[in-house]
Amino acid sequence: MSEQRQALVAKKRIVVKVGSSTLTYATGKLNYHRIDRLARDIANLSNQGKEMILVSSGAVSAGMGPLGLTHKPQSIREKQAVAAVGQGVLMHTYEKIFREYGQTVGQVLLTRMDAHDRSKFINSRNTLLTMLDMGIIPIINENDVVAIDEFKIGDNDSLSAMVSTIIDADLLILLSDVDGLYTKNPQEHDDARLISVVETIDRHCYDIAGGAGTARGTGGMFTKIQAAALVTAAHIDMVIASGSEEDVLRRICVGEEVGTWFPGKETSLHTKKRWLLSSGKSRGTIIVDEGCKNAIIQHGSSLLAVGIMEVKGTFEAGDIVSIMYDGLVIAKGIVHYNASDIQAIKGYKSEDISHILGHEGVYEEVVHRDNLVIMQ
């Protein structure tokens, strides 16, 4: 056991995300050996008293076989049609294999709307927590069949991060065809080395993350770093590891030095701030200066107009926006003003806002610290 990773042993509520490249062969058809091993390992952890949640890719790939397709469909309509077939095939496979290991599973299909709307967020949370209380292993996928672009999550790295924040997970494990974050692209550089632990997610992490995944998967390392930024902000640990590695889940959960570990930040977020994190898609972006960035990150300050440099997107008061500095999202929050009003007051002191907007009763803060969650 790695002394540094002993904290992982105590993790009880664990989300496991498995990618299409792990679940399928190069032909695009399901790899039943991998699926069986995954189910066995999750069942063993469940028998130890862990609360296990599986976020599974593979609906489109599972539908390709019955339909006689040799290549992944490209259009959204074709993907949704193939996923409609594949979701049934995949869930039947999971149900049959998990039952052999004495486990009951239940399918949950989500879209971003289930996190974006706060009432749906609470309902999704209650449903998933009740399933865990009843000893059911939730198997979660995006509802590809009906998802529209506006509320489409897009990749299961993001979906698993969203799920982790919804249910207050202790640990998120991303299994794919990569065994962690490297100092360089290992396919191009012989001297690339695996990074065991990432304490701080900064620009360098994104720079070395590389491009897209394999032809069978949609999530490259970049989306995994985005997922890590999201969950660690919610005090959730995350590990990226190879889904083809033997006994990988057990080894991670006993503290072995497998893959890349992202320790969660020491913070306690109430449900409202967890909803802010899980809702994912922001309506717009506010770019701030260095002084504002430091005030938010180091002192937990509200976002004031004086520190705003630029406003992007069209949004209304009450919408969720991303707050950025130097190209990275440092926080998310609920704005008191719409985009055009913020454009008018950016760079000005709070006492000037009433005069600029031409009415009284304005807010001193663009985003109050109670409605803001730090991502750095």
Q: Which residues are annotated as a binding site for substrate?
A: 57, 144, 156
Please check whether residue 56 is in contact with residue 94, taking contact to mean a CB–CB distance below 8 angstroms.
yes
C-alpha span between 61 and 50 (Å, rounded): 29
Please check whether residue 260 is in contact with residue 292, taking contact to mean a CB–CB distance below 8 angstroms.
no
Nearest to 362 by CA among 372, 350, 346, 370: 350
C-alpha span between 306 and 318 (Å, rounded): 20
Please check whether residue 240 is in contact with residue 181, taking contact to mean a CB–CB distance below 8 angstroms.
yes
Nearest to 178 by CA among 151, 150, 228, 212: 212
Please check whether residue 273 is in contact with residue 368, taking contact to mean a CB–CB distance below 8 angstroms.
no
**Which segments are annotated as binding site?**
17, 57, 144, 156, 176-177, 218-224
Please check whether residue 132 is in contact with residue 49, taking contact to mean a CB–CB distance below 8 angstroms.
no
Alpha helices, H only, 109-236: 113-116, 118-133, 156-166, 203-207, 221-233
What number of CA atoms fall less than 13 Å from residue 365's CA on the CB side? 15
- Bridging pattern class, strands 284-288 and 260-262: unpaired
CA distances 149 to 58, 154, 264, Å, are 19, 9, 30
C-alpha span between 301 and 147 (Å, rounded): 37
CA angle 372, 128, 131 (to 5 degrees): 155
**Which segments are annotated as binding site for ATP?**
17, 176-177, 218-224
